[in-house]
Structure 1
């Protein structure tokens, strides 16, 4: 199973649009995960035109998104893989351990908020943190990014994709 993973799209804003390489990966994916901060509902609808979307709301999302999307969730995928999702995973210090305690049945957590790509794994448990960064608003990150995930044999492997 192929996942396209996004967060912090922050659209519409000026002439901002999802990069063509991002759209291509979303269309090719079996499932799109979005970790919040769409900003407006029409961006969720745009993503849904590319494929099935599972999402959480972020701190800048309009009222309709906050009403319709949970703040956190766990996605059950083939092979028993469980990916937790939330927008803000809190401070970097102790995040990996804190998120393992918060989502004890999950294999991984996908989150956003910082716009800073991150992939970290606990070597003892295999629990992973993955922040795909932002395809549209990089802020302090050096590049616009998104992620992909490959689910196979009861595990998920994440990869950060640079879009520019």
Structure 2
């Protein structure tokens, strides 16, 4: 199963991410979606899961967290703004101890912490806003026997003059 993990679009999905993510089995968006992005990300895959972030409307239709069984393990998704950075990863791991991996956003900083379980995965920002190191996403290939991840990171788009 090909899973595209992204976060923090804030109303803009980098077109290179849209191009490379197209045709996924599942897109997971870890919040701070912004206008028009639910439709844009849903068009990339057979299925799309979205959680709400701290910059999404309070009356958002998206849940605060999602747990989804994939081939080979369980994936938990939460934006991550609920806790300060100092203990965010520890608190997420305690909240989802049965997950193979936890996806989060919020910091706009790419993290692929796979030394212990559950893994913590933050794809960084997929839009223009604070895309530290450039906009990107994580591709997860989930099989019953193995999970393989590949980060995709792009140069920042040139600003229009």
TM-score range, shorter chain: 0.7 to 0.9
Q: Secondary structure at the match of 2:8?
A: coil
Length, aligned pairs only: 153
Asked whether the equivalents of residues 115 and 137 of structure 1 are also in contact (C-alpha less than 8 Å), the reply is no
- Quote the RMSD (CA, aligned, Å): 1.9
Structure 1, unmatched stretches of 5+, are 12-16
Alignment match, 1:50: 44
The match for 1:88 among 80, 93, 106 is: 80
Structure-1-length-normalised TM-score: 0.83
The change in CA–CA distance for 1:144 and 1:59 in structure 2 (over 3 A counts) is: same
Give, in whole Å, the separation in 1 of the partners of 2:21 and 2:27.
6
Alignment match, 2:26: 31
Bigger share in helix = 1
**1:63 shift after superposition:** 4.4
Structure 2, unmatched stretches of 5+, are 156-161
Q: Does 1:158 align with 2:135?
A: no
Give, in whole Å, the separation in 1 of the partners of 2:87 and 2:74.
21
The change in CA–CA distance for 1:36 and 1:107 in structure 2 (over 3 A counts) is: same
Give per-residue Cα distances to partners, 1:103-156, cap 9 Å, x unaligned: 022111000001011111243xx3200000012135271221211111023443
| Larger deviation, residues 44-53 vs 131-140 | 131-140
Asked whether the equivalents of residues 4 and 25 of structure 1 are also in contact (C-alpha less than 8 Å), the reply is no
Structure-2-length-normalised TM-score: 0.84
